[in-house]
Structure 1
């Protein structure tokens, strides 16, 4: 039971018209500070509930900010912060990666369709299934908006927020605990008579007004805006630095319980979650039959543009949970729920210009610049034309009226020309608009042949080289790269290593410390792992997985560079197309020049190529987070010794390795199949040593 009851906290001075003229922090004793901090935490939780759950704030924003600031000052001065303090929402320490975490229960997807007849067919299946099961209850449908955000699992123990994970593949997702902690509408502590353990499913989203304001700020800074609120929410939630997430306006609706409690009906769940402080959607409703549920969907379609959040349909579920149990689920989706999708939105506008963007790999993408038009509540002024073949298919030209839609209800694209007022379709350029190199066609797509001799490709290649997916060189972001290119200090990645502190401090915005830090970062990147280097140099079709396979197979950069297409195709994950891309990259004269100069400064470390056979015939499965290992590191260790690492437990599995926060499903499967479990890193490494694999110190 939580101390935080559903009623207002008793004898708390910070509820109605709270005083904000506090005595100086220095004037308090530690005991007085601890008492005041606890009352402030209690009051802030109460005000959060009134604001986010009840939509009925008790105080104005200025008073709330004063209470929050006072609490933060007390906690910093007297070290009285608690694990569930509201001030933890401001963000924690950055992380190197987002480890996987297994869900306490599967997060299944939902069958869906966009036609009323598909919904009626769903109703027929439900009724037939319940009739076969001799279920005699009253069939009603629980109807809720289908939110267009990012689904998460949130876990509470003893009423206190413990962890959060994205949906991922439904069995495991990214650990986004510290990021979700920063979302104001996610309570750090539950209210009322809550279960001792509770796992709930919610949808994280960026409210539309906040999204448009945030995009405006991005454009004013010269950054690319997000295409839609869902992308903004997903990108924010997967930030490695929680303080970045804390600065962005996210919110959440909770809509399902995964473990820890049971309800007789979903409507009972809907009414109970707010009592525990969990925000639900006020548009949720209970309908007596499928036709009323269809009417509910049509009403949400009519009002979708007026909502503060994006929805792309509604979810219709059987309300009675016993009936849901009888209907069961397939391996992918429950049989008791159906998503009735909205049609893709589309509007008409006029194309004013077509620009051709040059990507890192030289791919040319035409983009239509249009009179701004509202498409599903989002102002769209540019839309992708994808490639030259699509322009020819559409016959689109400057001055034409076109119908714009959001493909998959997300990415703006030109669907068709509705009034060809222009002078014929846009003529795709025969030379690169940046470097004037000849444009080469590959099927429907077009590429600049200039390679790293093209400024656009150089700029993006430098950004990619220094990015987290490359060598993770801090201080070489998009704005810095543009500044270095404009100043003539950097033309390609090789020039990064010739920068000096004096070069940088002559530029606007650079001080001695930031310049020294960048030079130090570059020095640390002079002997990168081979796989990281292969990813960083931007070979088309070579991401982290293919780069790791190439490194393991060839061992050295020189061997990769000299390999023919037949040799390359002998590598796992490399087929004919990828092999040809790799060979073309290394055969390019412009690329060869840059690489030769780059290798004068960088010496990629040789990779281990030998694979042992100590674990031959053995299969390992991992669940939870392993201290000292990423999931990829652990799997790679097993595979190097001749074993196999798979994602699911079966009768062929030999060992299940349990990390922290292990998933129950894999443990249950291991018990069912008699699979030996290894509890923790020490047990894992001990087992490897039994088979002669050298690990650890």
Structure 2
């Protein structure tokens, strides 16, 4: 999903943010205030994607740089930090769950991948505890951070080291040994009540054992084991679903399911690593670690107690060497002062404890291990081999799958399960396996002779492979229907993944036209449906019988025809019948349609099976809206970009308006842009781009005047007609 689709602010620190800044001393106060406000806005946006949506758009390291820059600006210029992300852990509870206050704050911890920052953390710990040479209790006379490591030789600070898990943090509360509730971290003070979901995780005990305390609130990390993640992704790909990008995304999406039965089906696990509040008293971190398993709480065994910061650094370096062999994802090592009395003396800031630090692991390179190859069946029956990988950072994006394109490429690469491979990204979009680095796997992958879903024979057309099962293949049928009702198609609400599977499996829907034969009685009898949800879906389908022509063309799943091409076809031909009857020469005259696309369109509408589906849809009253092609061409050839908040209409309505009259509406300014319409709050970057490309900039009033005087289009009337 693009940042635009998530209503990203027009802000330089949202997409591909800079990670190098001018020194704070070289920045004037006005610039500092402007930059700080932009950083706050961007960090809140990234917090929302990371903590609430579990769908970040920048790497953790870039986020850390932005947050550090904001902290530096606020400190150097004494800026007001009320409500700043530097004062709170990011994230807001979801509306669908009850909001619950934590029994104790669930703070974040400071972090860095630089070893000198870790040593500086150790210096601060010693200074705050008043420990100096030989541990004699006399404070070091030098300024904080300037004393050498030698000055602390013999100081009594032990560190408890543990992996920093890359999962979902959770607070779990027990009273009288019984599970009471589980809550996400949320904003650090309160989170979402996900008790029903966490109850389904087998490693979370519903009752404690042995001599447990009367009250216990523990912090844990829910995660999906790597081996289970790969198997689960394989199952998703085989049934035609997109695989999860990485185990953390899979975990975050699972614990936020409204249906606990979905969570129960997914392979989640949990490590417990901290006590937030308890009637049992502890003296050290490692004592907590040893005691939690006695009460039945699962802990991680990859921990260590070391007697100085160099030992902690060594621990992290060993974790780097071994992380590919672990069955869970880690992104750092957490170093904690072991003595809890010392932790109390060190205290915390509003955001993070002063007694803990995360020494981040370096990002993985483009090399990783190929764990499995699974064959995905598309809407058209094409079989596409997909490599399932150990997650790896490729160009700032975490990748866990890659295309192998076709059987011929597999043979050329000689790729096998267990091989070490190098990845590249084509056009910065879908990653693919470029080469085998170490071929020490279980042998080369053999492409199947039968469809993995329906067992029909596989036919080869040059380098490509196709299932011959047609709509008799459940994967092709399901994916065709799924696309038809999806947001990219007719946007039919109430038909999610599970409900669609249910309709196909029960035989109620065997083709797209069957959707319009569904009755309230059919649906209300199914498990998980009620009278109201059944009535809503039937009403949605009835209302969608006269869809916009371009939406209908997109929903049909014509090969190579996406929303942009569908709009061009609709504007050019005006009716479904005209599109269906157009020959290849007529099709090639349409914008966005070349020789290959024209051939695909003609072949789709010539196919007897597709004609039967279209005839069946029309028999059920499906009649896409016609478009006045004369009206539609008034703005033909022009390209508009909109920025800011328009008065009286949304940006989407403005884009639809110009597109209905033949223009293109894009999200970024380029040399092909004819006009930038800049309303209140217009983005500075788009204005700068317009100046650089010499693109005319119009106010909303000037835009409406241009349409009225030059093209005879009254905006108010056009909106009413639309």
TM bin (shorter chain): 0.5 to 0.7
User: Of 226, 240, 253, which aligns to 2:244?
Assistant: 226
Partner of 2:520: 501
User: Of 432, 439, 453, which aligns to 1:418?
Assistant: 439
Give the secondary structure class of the aligned counterpart of 1:599: helix
Contact kept in structure 2, 1:465 and 1:471, CA below 8 Å: yes
Cα pair distance change 1:559/1:99, threshold 3 Å: farther
In 2, Cα distance between equivalents of 1:572 and 1:199: 48
Matches within 5 A, 1:511-550: 511-550=530-569
Partner of 2:299: none
- Displacement, 1:481? 1.4
Contact kept in structure 2, 1:104 and 1:663, CA below 8 Å: no
Contact kept in structure 2, 1:623 and 1:657, CA below 8 Å: yes
In 2, Cα distance between equivalents of 1:158 and 1:197: 15
Q: Deviations over 1:140-190 (max 9, x none)?
A: xxxxxxxxxxxxxx98759985996689xxxxxxx9799689999999x99
User: Of 486, 489, 507, which aligns to 2:505?
Assistant: 486
Partner of 1:570: 589
Structure 1: gaps spanning 5 or more residues: 1-94, 112-136, 138-153, 168-174, 240-248, 250-296, 312-339
Partner of 1:407: 423
Cα pair distance change 1:491/1:645, threshold 3 Å: closer
Contact kept in structure 1, 2:571 and 2:629, CA below 8 Å: yes
- Displacement, 1:460? 0.6
1:194 aligns with 2:79: yes
Contact kept in structure 1, 2:54 and 2:253, CA below 8 Å: no
Aligned length: 460
1:208 aligns with 2:229: no
Cα RMSD after superposing both structures:
5.8
In 1, Cα distance between equivalents of 2:250 and 2:617: 35
Cα pair distance change 1:593/1:436, threshold 3 Å: farther
1:393 aligns with 2:412: yes
Partner of 1:27: none
Partner of 2:626: 606
Cα pair distance change 1:663/1:492, threshold 3 Å: same
Q: Deviations over 1:400-428 (max 9, x none)?
A: 66404473499696947836876x86254
Q: Deviations over 1:561-587 (max 9, x none)?
A: 111111111111111111111122112
Contact kept in structure 1, 2:524 and 2:530, CA below 8 Å: yes
Q: Which has the higher contact order (CA 8 A, sep 6+)?
A: 1
In 2, Cα distance between equivalents of 1:646 and 1:626: 16
Give the secondary structure class of the aligned counterpart of 1:343: coil
Cα pair distance change 1:420/1:678, threshold 3 Å: closer
In 2, Cα distance between equivalents of 1:347 and 1:617: 48
Contact kept in structure 2, 1:451 and 1:590, CA below 8 Å: no
Matches within 5 A, 1:3-402: 98-99=6-7, 101-103=9-11, 193-194=78-79, 208-210=166-168, 213=222, 219=232, 225-228=243-246, 343-347=365-369, 356-366=375-385, 385-395=404-414, 402=418
Give the secondary structure class of the aligned counterpart of 1:696: helix
Q: Deviations over 1:514-559 (max 9, x none)?
A: 1111111111111100010011111111111111111111111111
Contact kept in structure 2, 1:159 and 1:196, CA below 8 Å: no
Partner of 2:485: 466
In 2, Cα distance between equivalents of 1:543 and 1:419: 41
In 2, Cα distance between equivalents of 1:549 and 1:596: 23
Q: Deviations over 1:460-496 (max 9, x none)?
A: 1111111111111111122111111111110011000
- Displacement, 1:670? 6.1
TM-score, normalising length: structure 2? 0.51
- Displacement, 1:624? 2.3
Give the secondary structure class of the aligned counterpart of 2:716: coil
